[in-house]
């Protein structure tokens, strides 16, 4: 069995009632074809980098599943025929996976989510302490991802400029 990830974009103007049957249909398809649904992740509305079918925004959904080629073929056929789906893309993540290990993985993920939900109940405190814990082990204060990225991009752009001026000589 192979593990796939399908990202598809649904028309953002659809209401919950309109899009839910489509999601149900696709998840049912996975089960019908001896597949295994790992994760159904709704990313929500995002701006598209370019227009697709005259739309500038899209509702993103990630399907993480295991199955074989015929399942992917059937899923893609359904998405192609459906007007509600603007675009889709399937990526093969792992070529040979075992159904049992995946099942245990799903269970572990579910339990982790439960623990997170119960610990995060007081509010933002849970998250804040987690972040602190992560920062503590290293002696040097690590920059938060956002800062790091900002710095990195700045350094990158200066490097780029250097190179460009070099090239002109």
Partner 1 sequence: MASFKRRKRMFRRRKICRFCADSSFVIDYKNPRTLRLFTTERGKIIPRRISGNCAKHQRQLTTAIKRARTIALMPYSAALSHY
Cα-based angle 147, 58, 18 (whole degrees, multiple of 5): 135
Rounded to 10 deg, the angle between the 69-81 and 16-32 helix axes is: 160
Q: Regarding beta strands 85-94 and 55-67, do their DSSP bridges make them parallel or antiparallel, or are they unpaired?
A: unpaired
In the region spanning residues 73 to 102, those forming contacts with partner 1, defined by CB under 8 A, are: 87-89, 91
- x/- letters, 132..161, toward partner 1 (CB under 8 A): -----------------x--xx--x--xx-
Angle, CA 7 vertex, CA 22 and CA 86 arms, to 5°: 60
Q: Taking the complex as a whole, how short is the minimal distance between the CB of residue 133 and partner 1, in angstroms?
A: 15
Single residue of 58, 63, 67, 102 touching partner 1 by CB under 8 A: 58
Phi then psi for 54, rounded to 5 degrees? 65, 15
Contacts of residue 41, defined as CB under 8 A and 6 or more positions apart, other chains included, come to 61, 62, 63, 64
The piece of 19-27, 46-54, 69-77, 102-110 that touches partner 1 (CB under 8 A) is 46-54
Q: Which is nearer to partner 1, 99 or 151 (CB)?
A: 151
Binding site for partner 1 (CB under 8 A): 7, 9, 46, 48-50, 52, 58, 60, 62, 87-89, 91, 149, 152-153, 156, 159-160, 162-163, 166
């Amino acid at each position: 069995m192979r593990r796939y990830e399908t990202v598809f974009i649904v028309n953002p103007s659809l209401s919950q009632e309109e899009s839910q049957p489509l999601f149900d249909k696709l998840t049912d398809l996975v089960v019908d074809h001896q597949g295994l649904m790992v994760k159904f992740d709704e990313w929500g509305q995002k701006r598209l980098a370019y227009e697709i079918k005259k739309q500038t925004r899209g509702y993103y959904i990630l399907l993480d599943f295991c199955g074989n080629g015929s399942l992917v073929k059937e899923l893609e056929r359904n998405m192609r025929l459906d007007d509600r789906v603007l675009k889709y893309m399937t990526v093969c993540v792992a070529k040979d996976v075992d159904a049992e290990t995946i099942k245990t993985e799903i269970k572990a993920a579910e339990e982790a989510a439960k623990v997170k939900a119960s610990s995060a109940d007081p509010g933002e405190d849970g998250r804040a302490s987690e972040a602190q814990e992560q920062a503590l082990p290293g002696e040097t204060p690590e920059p938060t991802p956002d800062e790091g990225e900002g710095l990195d991009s700045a350094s990158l752009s200066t490097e780029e400029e250097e190179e460009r001026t070099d090239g002109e000589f």
